[in-house]
Structure 1
Amino acid sequence: MSYTVFLVEDEQNLSEALKAYMEREGWTVQLFHDGDKANEAVEETPHLWVLDIMLPGTDGYQILKNIREKQGDIPVIFISARDQDLDRVLGLEMGSDDYISKPFLPQELIIRAKKLLTRTYGQESEESKKIELNDYTIDAEARTVTDNHQPEQPVDLTTKEMDLILLLTEQVGKALSREDIIEEVWGENYFGSERAVDDVVRRVRKKMPRIHLETLYGFGYRILSS
């Protein structure tokens, strides 16, 4: 399912890393780097808040209080540099659903978030496995791509073009080298030129003009969510 996550974290490097990991899961992530901006968004309804306690402006406790008053049962994960029992207990008593202390590995947060999202919204259905990205619906099971502006007509992709799209959309935001793409799409025994990747990318861009397929010169490609 394409969940929407509001991530409130004032450490730039950490917030960008967490955003990248979440986007690889196919989630849409909105970043807030100060508490006041996040507090203005409590009327909105993401699927999950990931909320630092110590923030410039409004602190995480007040934001959590406002979320609970405005939106009730939206799940919230608290994160904090302060590994103290009092913080943990206070956060849970105020209504956070989970608490994680810095430093932590981004994948640990992803695992906890997945469990919380599944508990809140249920197991993914076949329909929810579809990826909505850049005005396209990508169905990995059916191996189809639909332009949401022309839903009655699927995008006509070759096998290699579809393989490339599925590979990159499974890891949104992650840069993949040409070598990685060759190995995954063409197989380990491929002995042709890496320019085959560039050719497929060029065709995909022509057929899917709104896809944000970024070239990393001298390295490879990645797909961005926005």
Structure 2
Amino acid sequence: MPASRRPAPFTTGITMDNAKILVVDDDAKLRDLLSRYLSQQGFSVDTLPDSRDLDRKLSRNRPDLLVLDVMMPGEDGLAVVRRLRAQGENLPVIMLTARGEDIDRILGLEMGADDYLAKPFNPRELTARVQAVLRRHRATPALTASHTADDVIEFGQFVLHLGRRELCRNDQLVALTSAEYAVLAVLAAHPRRPLTREQLMEMALGKGGGDSLDRSIDVHVSRLRKALDSGDNGARHIQTVWGYGYVFVPDGQPRE
């Protein structure tokens, strides 16, 4: 996003400015159901039965969000999202799976998914997840009325551009998912202040804590650490507060 532009405002309505959603799932009945339901909510919806034409679709008619099934013939959903993230693609992704075990959910998040939903599910639940991920992708709670489009947070070799929603290292853009950016923005906005997992879940992701999904914060933090620590001479900018949560340390030095 150009520095001169502010992030587009979002509404709390379900249409999210007629956002474009691409659903990739080999279940024809589910594709039809989601296409009809999401379209009724004001979204522009396209579908694919598998990932074979995904790259062409992304290049010709890029969606605002990808709803991606895990278990598909050919290249499965986990492989797709891993490949997209390796290419530096930050398109928001919600993964669907018939397997609802925590390990499968965590694996999807580790590959770079923004959110995860186990089948069977109520279409209203998917709509709420789509809305939440799009909202995170367009704005984050850390960017409040007290910030301007030119506000930045500098630490180590990094610059976090709050208005542009970008993290740069030595003037090079660092690819982050919407969830990872939201977690980093909240932590960086509260330097040296320990935040619990529940606080991060609510402030960054807009979800209440207290269930197994709390582990998603750990996954997002783990991915952020790989992006930050490997590029700043061993500095540890996100540190664990044992038995509590995490804290952002601008200089990356160990806390006493």
Q: Does 1:13 align with 2:29?
A: yes
- 1:56 and 1:90 mapped to 2: Cα distance? 19
CA offsets 1:43-77 (integer angstroms, 9 cap, x no match)? 45311000000012111011112222345221100
- 1:56 and 1:38 mapped to 2: Cα distance? 14
Q: Does 1:68 align with 2:85?
A: yes
Q: Does 1:24 align with 2:63?
A: no
Query: Secondary structure at the residue paired with 1:79?
Result: strand
- 1:101 and 1:85 mapped to 2: Cα distance? 10
Q: Does 1:80 align with 2:97?
A: yes
Is this contact kept in 2: 1:3–1:28, CA < 8 A?
yes
Q: Note the C-alpha offset of 1:118.
A: 1.1
- 1:106 and 1:37 mapped to 2: Cα distance? 25
1:1-226 pair list within 5 angstroms: 1-43=17-59, 45-70=62-87, 72-122=89-139
TM-score by length of 2: 0.45
CA offsets 1:96-148 (integer angstroms, 9 cap, x no match)? 0100000101111001111111111249xxxxxxxxxxxxxxxxxxxxxxxxx
- For 1:57, the aligned partner's letter is G
- Looking at CA atoms only, which structure, 1 or 2, has the larger radius of gyration? 1
- 2:38 and 2:86 mapped to 1: Cα distance? 27
Structure 2 residues without counterparts, runs of 5 or longer: 1-16, 141-256
- 1:102 and 1:95 mapped to 2: Cα distance? 20
Q: How many residues in Structure 1 have an aligned counterpart in Structure 2?
A: 123
Q: Note the C-alpha offset of 1:39.
A: 4.7
- 1:22 and 1:118 mapped to 2: Cα distance? 16
With over 3 angstroms needed to count, the CA separation of the structure-2 counterparts of 1:100 and 1:86, relative to structure 1, is: same
Q: Is the deviation greater in 86-95 or in 66-75?
A: 66-75
Correspondence for 1:197? none
- For 1:85, the aligned partner's letter is D
Tell me which stretches of 4 or more aligned residues in structure 1 moved more than 6 Å: none
TM-score by length of 1: 0.51
- For 1:90, the aligned partner's letter is L
Higher helix proportion (structure 1 or 2): 1
With over 3 angstroms needed to count, the CA separation of the structure-2 counterparts of 1:41 and 1:69, relative to structure 1, is: farther
Identical counterparts, % of pairs? 37
Is this contact kept in 2: 1:42–1:63, CA < 8 A?
no
- For 2:28, the aligned partner's letter is Q
- For 1:31, the aligned partner's letter is T
- 1:81 and 1:98 mapped to 2: Cα distance? 15
- 2:102 and 2:135 mapped to 1: Cα distance? 27
Query: Secondary structure at the residue paired with 2:53?
Result: helix
- 2:35 and 2:132 mapped to 1: Cα distance? 18
Is this contact kept in 2: 1:92–1:98, CA < 8 A?
yes
Is this contact kept in 2: 1:43–1:70, CA < 8 A?
no
Q: Note the C-alpha offset of 1:87.
A: 1.1
